[in-house]
Structure 1
Amino acid sequence: MASATDHTTLGKQTALPQSPEEAVLDRVPNPHPDTLYVARFTAPEFTSLCPVTGQPDFAHLVIDYVPGDWLVESKSLKLYLGAFRNHGAFHEDCTIAIAKRLVELLAPKYLRIGGYWYPRGGIPIDVFWQTGPCPDGVWLPDQGVAPYRGRG
């Protein structure tokens, strides 16, 4: 795990990692560790591959977390998420693996992820996970992704 001073991507031209396992997530010190607040990352064009067919799968990911001592460095997060582009895994695996990797790196006070997967074969799959209850007094807005509505 990279330390706060070992940034692997910040300020450098960086190639997309070949896999999520090879991707390095960087963290930086939280300038307000004494304040409860939510940081949100939205990835409306997340892509991975179906592990059975090799066909692309698309999702709209929303990651909310209440930082402790660390923040995720955004460029390294973008590269990590981009590394799934050639990675074969089911929707549930991708969504939960991303959340667990962030929890391991950051030790946040709270984290939740919503994986809103676009339909393949006529069925959308949405995957949700959180570390526990959101701390009292934190404003946690709705993730803002409309539920899928097919033609009917």
Structure 2
Amino acid sequence: MTDTPISDESGPRFLGQQTPLPASPGEAVLDYVPNPRTGALYLARFAAPEFTSLCPVTGQPDFAHLVIDYAPGETIVESKSLKLFLGSFRDHAGFHEDVTVGIGQRLNEEMKPRWLRIGGYWYPRGGIPIDVFWQTGAPPEGLWVPEQGVAGYRGRG
């Protein structure tokens, strides 16, 4: 363990608090705290197997399994704020590509990791599953990057 504090002077806003879902992704606030292992090259993974948003044309729900991998820089994302941010998409209308890439870009712009990738494994609508992938570039030399572990959609067979 290190002596590095786990939050800045204001601290994470949501830990230990009952917090409603933000009304929209734009209103969601992501908390970042100092990386307790800034000298180490490592990968952190978040999996959201029950992610939902809305189709921008029909308003019907879309479901995805998101996997977010990142190599932290100076900060890490606080997991409860990430959960609330992802939950804010429940009533947000957006195409699969826009939602997946937008989540990755926001995390990258705010957190400034050494490397980030997101995989959006969307369940079929109209008989066609859509998988969307985005990353910031090549992973840093020496970073262990395991497969995301989500199989392509196979239906019943």
TM score, norm. by length of structure 2: 0.92
RMSD: 1.2
Corresponding residue for 1:134? 139
Corresponding residue for 2:59? 54
One-letter amino acid of the counterpart of residue 85, structure 2: Y
Aligned residue pairs, count: 150
Is 2:156 the partner of 1:144? no
Percent identity at matched positions? Answer: 71
One-letter amino acid of the counterpart of residue 76, structure 1: S
Of 5, 9, 16, which residue of structure 2 is paired with 1:5? 9
Q: Structure 1, residues 96-139: CA drift from partner, whole Å, max 9, x if none?
A: 11001100111000000000000000000000010000011111
Q: Structure 1, residues 50-95: CA drift from partner, whole Å, max 9, x if none?
A: 0110000000000000000000000000000000000000000100
Is 2:102 the partner of 1:120? no
Distance in 1 between residues matched to 2:36 and 2:55, nearest whole Å:
39
Instruction: Quote how far apart the aligned CAs of 1:49 are.
Output: 0.2
One-letter amino acid of the counterpart of residue 148, structure 1: Y
Distance in 2 between residues matched to 1:60 and 1:30, nearest whole Å:
26
Which runs of 5 or more residues in structure 2 are unaligned?
1-6
Is 2:84 the partner of 1:79? yes
Distance in 1 between residues matched to 2:31 and 2:9, nearest whole Å:
9
**Which runs of structure 1 show a deviation greater than 3 angstroms over 4 or more consecutive aligned residues?**
3-6
